[in-house]
Amino acid sequence: MTDTTAASRTLPGHLPHHPLRAALTGSVASIAFTFIAVIAVGLIWIGPKFVSFGNVSIIGSFLIVPLIVGAFSGFALLAGVVDLSIGSIVGISAAIFAWLITHGWGLWPAAGATLSICLVIGGLNALAIVRFGADPIAATLGMLTALRGITWVLCGNQRMIPAFDIDFFTLINQQLFGLPLFFLLAIVLTLIAAVVVTKTRVGRHVQAVGGDDRAAARAGISVRGVRTAALLLSAVGGGLGGMIYVGQLGSAAGATGLGLEFQVYAALMIGGYSILRGGVGNPVGGALGLLAVAGVANILDLGRISPYYVNIIVGLLLLAAVLLDRLRGGDAYE
Amino acid sequence: MSTDQAIDATPTATPLAVRFQGWGTAITLVAVWALLIAATGLYRPDFFAHQTVLAIAFTMSIVGVLAIGQGIIGISGGFIDLSQPACLILTSLIAVRLSEAGLPLPLVFVGAVLVGMVWGAFNATIVVLAKLNPVIVTLATNFIGLAALYLVFQLAQVPNGSEIYHMGRASFLGLPVIWWPMLVLIIIVGFLMRYTRYGRRITAVGGNRFAAQARGISLKKTRFATFMAAGGFVGFAAVLFASAAGPFNPSSASTMQLNVIAAVILAGISLAGGRGSFWMLLLSVGFLSTIPTSLVFFGLSSDTQSIFQGILLMIAVAIDGYRARRGTP
Amino acid sequence: MRNSVRAFALMALSVPVLIGLAGVAEAQDKFKLGMMVGGNTCCEWMKAQGDVARALAEKMGWDYVELSNNNDPATALKNAQIMVQEGVDAAIQFNGQPSTNPAISAVMKAANIPIVTYDIADPGMYFVGIDNLAAGIAGGEQLGKIMKEKWNCEPDLVISSEGAGAGIVNEWRTGGMRTGVKNICPDIPAEKYISFEGSGDAAVALPAARDLLAANPNAVKMAVVGINDGGVLGLINAAEQLGRADEVIGWGQDGAFITGDNVNPHLAGSVFYFLEGYAVYAIKDVIGPIAEGKEVALKADAGDPASKVQPCPVSAEQAKAVPDMPERVAQLLAAPAGTTEYDLFCLNK
């Protein structure tokens, strides 16, 4: 009996013991290399314009929502409960928020109500996954589908809720030091998340639960509590993302956030997270992954490459980046 | 208990679990399907009509064959093949081009299945040589594949009045011609997976790959075999799709992905590998294909369809998880 | 093994570098046109819109930038910002996700760049396109005439294949077709009009259409209208599969499936807009004058557009004389500047 325990601990048990070292020598170092390579290519090909404030602003404001969603949903990945419903949560949050502010609600009460509904959605995810033990991918795939259907219904026959508010638009697009304010806030949020993950007890608990839930439970960590909290956080990230989209885009649409989960998770995987097992990944790596992918797309846009090649090249890069990560000692499949 | 014994113990436990899961899944699926049919029939007695059966059977045909491919990837521990849409469109295009060239139907099937297998081999090559996770690999190849296909064509359809065109519209014994191959394939694959050495090996690899390896099963060969087989089934489904769908474009297959994955999960085929019966696909695909038809009889719009399907999938996996959790000490 | 893998990674990374080194910076003083294509893989014409704009811009000696909106609202906004940064002198967009149009308008206005929008109007953009409502009514009236002649205006069902994702365009086109039918056959009872969601894609519409037919088992004489030819074809294919196509008559919109030698016999006609050739209108009436330094008044309303595309209803019989899309594009680009596809190919002017 004791032997079995020891065996199961030595197999996947390395990471929880040295989270900081593992993160710095592993995934973040790889993505940092990829990120620097992207900047180098951009400088060679596009020239100094690539790193100009103007261009970084464009990339930055495009990334505000993915960065925020990524920072929050990264906790769910870390805890070993991938949340595929984030794109649909963004969609429904945008629809609810847009509906409320066009029906006489103030921005703050509307934001509060929207976030509450998102918490309920996160709670339902947690109920299915944590309480009943449903497979996270399958359960949140169901949530993704159901929420998208509700979003369509909410958006009505025209498939959109116009909610262009020039004040809110100006607020979201506010610049600070020549860069979008909310982009900087998203970076700060990422750094806070990184500190939480690497330097605090809470972060270690999340990693422990994702790395080996039985070992974590034996160590006295509430596995259910951590996973429930992670799924709630993930839903909050989606909720914030949806509301920011309403400000940025001036409306909510049936397609708002459609496919965002793939966009974000592909980048997070490039950045060192895994959607199949918890315990690995770092918010900084995830953010660098998003920046690297957006940088590549930007290089192709500015480099006058036919837009139809963009997806092919981004796909190849996804493969190249995960391969690079593996060659640097990352996770091998079989 | 030594470590070796602990690993060896897992595969012997698998058949028991399969049997237990299988029955529970079958009873649950039959019960909810019957309930859905009964409720719709009570509300609209004309639901019990040949037209309804035809509509549901057509919907089942393509999803069913795709689900076999997805199930093989799942049960062998490859989790999900996210590149099915790209592979389906690629092989459908092959089927169209071969039909346009005037090739007889059997050769069209052979061509599409072969190209599907090549696609599968391409996925497997990356997975095996680069040692990358299949989910990420197929996510990327789907991305690349669809984008590349769009550069090649934006619209394709089989020639009006051709052999393949008629196959997509004809009936045999009161059911669509394209429904029967789905039925036969699911029965055969279910049999092969359960009663042959190869099928058991695939399941064993999914259950515990290291134990399987220790017993002398080559993981690389298994990956190639499963991905090529899955690609072949997609190629087969593509001929059915091309025959029935009318004009299609590179994005026409994307809405099917969810239904296929849901069918595999509802059938109790574990995405993490190692358990499940392919025969259950007949029930899960049938049930899932009945939902949209029922909703239309209830007078609900197709927007609501995804709400029901999504909630249902969540409840199903929650029940599945609860049962599995109770079953384990 | 390990080396070959490493070589593969290096190759993948070096591709963009090499292309970059091969790229030559272009002259900056030329007039620069930006084109943001829809980027939805749904439709043959979407890519062609960019190809035609590129060819025409090159003919004019302009610099040309093309980006794809990827059918995504956030990408459309980002593309507008890139167009501003790239210093385009004018821009054209087709935005299938028009929810972002107000934000795009604001961005372009701040940079003082005129922008043309195809088919989906926004108060801040030059409208170039079809009057979707008029196109719908024109098609509906043609279908109504057939119904009057064959069925004495007594169909069992008038089925609408909706594409709600297109928003107001769907209401104009599909609703317009119903209005057109009512203009000819005013006495069809309201309950005979039914709708289903077909997403304007034949393959996606097909299962929903089968369900709809199953739920209306006694309907025989069925007239089909829809947002486009693809949506209408979805229902026709479903009727063929359920053995009920004998008395199905469809009339589509956009003319995507009415040319060539593969036209479904139940598709009685369609309405051409010649979507792929819109750049001719945009350049003739908006971009060209701007490039010459003239002031062009902002006309943003679909009812009073900056350049109006005429709908061209055709029966399947008449459409046999019209070449398919690639051939039309070739002839359009060979024609004198300012010639539209309507001029070249529309028989019912």
DSSP string, B168-202: TT-EETTEETTHHHHHHHHHHHHHHHHHSHHHHHH
Mutation target vs B (from A132, A150, A213, A326; most B CBs, 10 A cutoff): A132
**Which amino acid makes up residue A180?**
P
Are residues B314 and A276, on separate chains, in Cβ contact within 8 Å? no
**A53-67, B15-29, B192-206, C84-98: which has the minimum mean pLDDT?**
B15-29
Contact assessment for residue A52 and residue A231, using Cβ atoms and an 8 Å cutoff? no
Pairing outcome for strands A251-253 and A160-162? antiparallel
Task: Give the gap in angstroms from C-alpha A117 to the nearest C-alpha of chain C.
Answer: 23
Tokens of C150: 């064959």
Q: For A98, what's the count of Cα atoms within 13 Å in the CB-facing half-sphere?
A: 32
pLDDT tens per residue across span C52-71: 999 999 999 999 999 999 88
**A224-228, B242-246, B251-255: which has the minimum mean pLDDT?**
B251-255
Q: What's the CATH number where C99 sits? A: 3.40.50.2300
Question: Does C103 touch chain A if contact means CB atoms closer than 8 Å?
Answer: yes
Cα A199 to Cα A192, A206, C164, distances in angstroms: 10, 12, 49
What is the spatial order of strands in the sheet that C222-226 belongs to?
A: C193-197, C157-162, C222-226, C248-251, C267-272, C312-315
Task: Give the gap in angstroms from C-alpha A58 to the nearest C-alpha of chain C.
Answer: 6
Question: CA B102 to CA B95: how far, in whole Å?
Answer: 11
Task: Give the gap in angstroms from C-alpha B60 to the nearest C-alpha of chain A.
Answer: 20
Are residues A324 and C102, on separate chains, in Cβ contact within 8 Å? no
Q: What is the pLDDT of residue B11?
A: 42
- Confidence category of residue B257, pLDDT binned at 50, 70, 90: confident
Query: Do C77 and C166 lie in a common domain?
Result: no
Q: Which residues of C touch A159 (CB under 8 A)?
A: 99, 164-167
The answer to whether residue C19 sits within a structural domain is no
Q: Looking at residues C217-226, what average pLDDT do you find?
A: 95
Higher pLDDT: C295 or B117? It is B117
Question: CA C143 to CA C180: how far, in whole Å?
Answer: 8
pLDDT tens per residue across span B69-98: 999 999 998 888 999 999 999 999 999 999
- List the 138-167 stretch of C: residues with Cβ below 8 A of A: 164-167
Across the A:B interface, residue pairs with CB atoms under 8 Å apart total: 162
Are residues A334 and B320, on separate chains, in Cβ contact within 8 Å? no
Question: Does B79 touch chain C if contact means CB atoms closer than 8 Å?
Answer: no
SS3 C71: coil
Predicted TM-score (pTM) of this structure: 0.87
Are residues B59 and C241, on separate chains, in Cβ contact within 8 Å? no
Chains that touch B (3 or more CB pairs under 8 A): A, C
Question: Does A301 touch chain C if contact means CB atoms closer than 8 Å?
Answer: yes
Contact assessment for residue C105 and residue C121, using Cβ atoms and an 8 Å cutoff? no
Of the candidates A140, A146, A145, A142, the residue with the CA atom closest to the CA atom of residue A83:
A140
Q: Which helix (H) or strand (E) holds A107?
A: helix A107-126
The answer to whether residue C347 sits within a structural domain is no
Are residues B321 and A334, on separate chains, in Cβ contact within 8 Å? no
Instruction: Give the architecture (CATH level 2) of B3-327.
Output: Orthogonal Bundle (1.10)
Cα A202 to Cα A206, A210, A215, distances in angstroms: 6, 12, 16
Query: Do C208 and C178 lie in a common domain?
Result: yes
Taking the alpha carbons of A46, A51, A54, A56 in that order, is the dihedral positive or negative? Answer: positive
Query: Do C164 and C82 lie in a common domain?
Result: no
Mutation target vs C (from B100, B259, B293; most C CBs, 10 A cutoff): B293
Q: What is the pLDDT of residue A30?
A: 76
Chains that touch C (3 or more CB pairs under 8 A): A, B
Query: Do C66 and C193 lie in a common domain?
Result: no
Residue bearing tokens 């951009």: A42
Chains that touch A (3 or more CB pairs under 8 A): B, C
Q: What is the pLDDT of residue B175?
A: 93
Q: Looking at residues B133-142, what average pLDDT do you find?
A: 89
Question: CA C39 to CA B227: how far, in whole Å?
Answer: 31
pLDDT tens per residue across span B158-211: 998 899 999 999 999 999 999 999 999 999 999 999 899 889 889 988 888 888
Are residues B244 and C241, on separate chains, in Cβ contact within 8 Å? yes
Are residues C12 and A319, on separate chains, in Cβ contact within 8 Å? yes
pLDDT at B1 over 80: no
Query: Do C169 and C223 lie in a common domain?
Result: yes
**Residue B302 is nearest to which of C47, C208, C217, comparing CB atoms?**
C208
Query: Do C183 and C231 lie in a common domain?
Result: yes
Question: CA C210 to CA C198: how far, in whole Å?
Answer: 11
Q: Which residues of B touch C257 (CB under 8 A)?
A: 247
Mutation target vs C (from B90, B152, B155; most C CBs, 10 A cutoff): B155
Of the candidates B53, A37, A297, the residue with the CA atom closest to the CA atom of residue C70:
A297
pLDDT at B14 over 60: no
Every domain of chain B and the residues it spans: 3-327
Tokens of C92: 């054209």
Q: What is the pLDDT of residue C25?
A: 43
Q: What is the pLDDT of residue B327?
A: 58
Mean pLDDT, rounded, of chain B: 87
pLDDT along chain A (334 residues), means of 10: 38 47 60 87 90 91 95 93 94 96 90 96 95 88 92 86 83 87 95 92 91 88 93 96 92 89 87 81 90 90 83 82 73 72
Domain that holds residue C205: 132-272
Mean pLDDT, rounded, of chain C: 88
**Residue A301 is nearest to which of C8, C16, C82, comparing CB atoms?**
C82
Are residues C41 and B246, on separate chains, in Cβ contact within 8 Å? no
Task: Give the gap in angstroms from C-alpha B138 to the nearest C-alpha of chain A.
Answer: 10
Mutation target vs A (from C35, C99, C107; most A CBs, 10 A cutoff): C99
pLDDT at C234 over 70: yes
Give the CA-trace dihedral at B265, B268, B273, B277, to 10 degrees. -130
Query: Do C160 and C115 lie in a common domain?
Result: no
Are residues C210 and B54, on separate chains, in Cβ contact within 8 Å? yes
Every domain of chain A and the residues it spans: 19-327
Question: Does A318 touch chain C if contact means CB atoms closer than 8 Å?
Answer: no
Residue of A nearest to C51 (CA): A306
Are residues A327 and C23, on separate chains, in Cβ contact within 8 Å? no
Are residues B249 and C196, on separate chains, in Cβ contact within 8 Å? no
Residue of A nearest to B142 (CA): A315
Q: Which helix (H) or strand (E) holds C11?
A: helix C2-22
Higher pLDDT: C196 or A305? It is C196
Q: What is the pLDDT of residue A188?
A: 96
Q: For A220, what's the count of Cα atoms within 13 Å in the CB-facing half-sphere?
A: 1
Q: What is the pLDDT of residue B216?
A: 86
Total count of domains within chain C = 2
pLDDT at C4 over 60: no
Question: Does C3 touch chain B if contact means CB atoms closer than 8 Å?
Answer: no
Mean pLDDT, rounded, of chain A: 86
- List the 252-271 stretch of C: residues with Cβ below 8 A of A: none
Percentage, residues of chain C above pLDDT 70 = 92
**Residue B136 is nearest to which of A7, A269, A316, comparing CB atoms?**
A269
CATH code, residues A19-327: 1.10.3470
Query: Do C156 and C195 lie in a common domain?
Result: yes
Under DSSP, the state recorded for A129 is I
SS3 C182: helix
**Residue B136 is nearest to which of A124, A141, A322, comparing CB atoms?**
A322
Q: What is the pLDDT of residue A278?
A: 82
Are residues A308 and B151, on separate chains, in Cβ contact within 8 Å? yes
Q: What is the pLDDT of residue A323?
A: 82
Tokens of C152: 């004495």
